[in-house]
Amino acid sequence: MSVLIAPSVLSLDYSDTASQLQQLNASGAEWMHYDVMDGNFVPNISFGPDILKAFCKASPLYKDVHLMVADPSYYADVFIKAGADLITFHYEALQEEEIRPLLEKIHAAGKKAGISIKPNTDVEVLVPYLNEVDLILIMSVEPGFGGQSFHPEAAGKIAQLRQMIDASGSHALIEVDGGINQETGRVCREAGVDVLVAGSYVFKGDIQKAVESLR
């Protein structure tokens, strides 16, 4: 199966938004990755719900919303109302007993639900949720800033997660985010990833060529 490409609009050139979105829409990418940072869970601030609403008007791409926030239960509602198709929250942001209720809430709203883990979090913590999530996002950099270099150990985590998912009968997709380019994308594809998130690599030059190179 071909991988899905999810360019991260965190790296969009906002001095040329209309042109960049036009190129993105025509690039062949299937998803738009939308990073939400609250300045609390991560030391940076990005987008609110009104920007997502604008992207929903400007682009038909599937809206892949990644919540890097301290209160994902509250913000899941906010971004579902703003037009998210998929809500991914961080395992590290919640107590264990809060995870399943949030997954259920997202699904009850008719949306897909995902869990993300930071580089230092073991994939084994996700075993209880493999058949309850639609996506697992492996962070291959520390969340919070674009333009970081890929952590090579992420490929091993993807391969381990691929085995876990296949053994469990789960249909969850594996997504990777951080330092993805043509070379690291190939490494992740070989490890078994389903969705590649790429930011600066896509938006720093020819958007369509960059997207094609990630295939």
Query: Is the pLDDT assigned to residue 84 strictly greater than 80?
Result: yes
Which tens digits make up the pLDDT trace of 107-147?
A: 999 999 999 999 999 999 999 999 999 999 999 998 876 66
Q: Tell me, what's the pLDDT at 97?
A: 96
d(CA 183, CA 65): 25
- Angstrom CA distances, 112 to 33, 136, 143, 173, stand at 14, 11, 21, 11
**169 backbone dihedrals φ, ψ, rounded to 5°:** 80, 10
Active site residue 50: no
Active site residue 35: yes
Which tens digits make up the pLDDT trace of 8-34?
A: 999 999 999 999 999 999 999 999 999
- Angstrom CA distances, 176 to 43, 74, 161, stand at 21, 24, 12
Relative orientation angle of helices 49-58 and 17-25, to the nearest 10 degrees: 60
SS3 content of the chain, % helix, strand, coil (to 5): 45, 20, 35
Choice among 16, 177, 194, 206 that is catalytic: 177
Q: Tell me, what's the pLDDT at 149?
A: 86
Choice among 35, 38, 64, 134 that is catalytic: 35
Q: What is the maximal distance between C-alpha atoms in the chain?
A: 47
| pTM for the model | 0.95
Q: Tell me, what's the pLDDT at 146?
A: 65
Q: Tell me, what's the pLDDT at 73?
A: 96
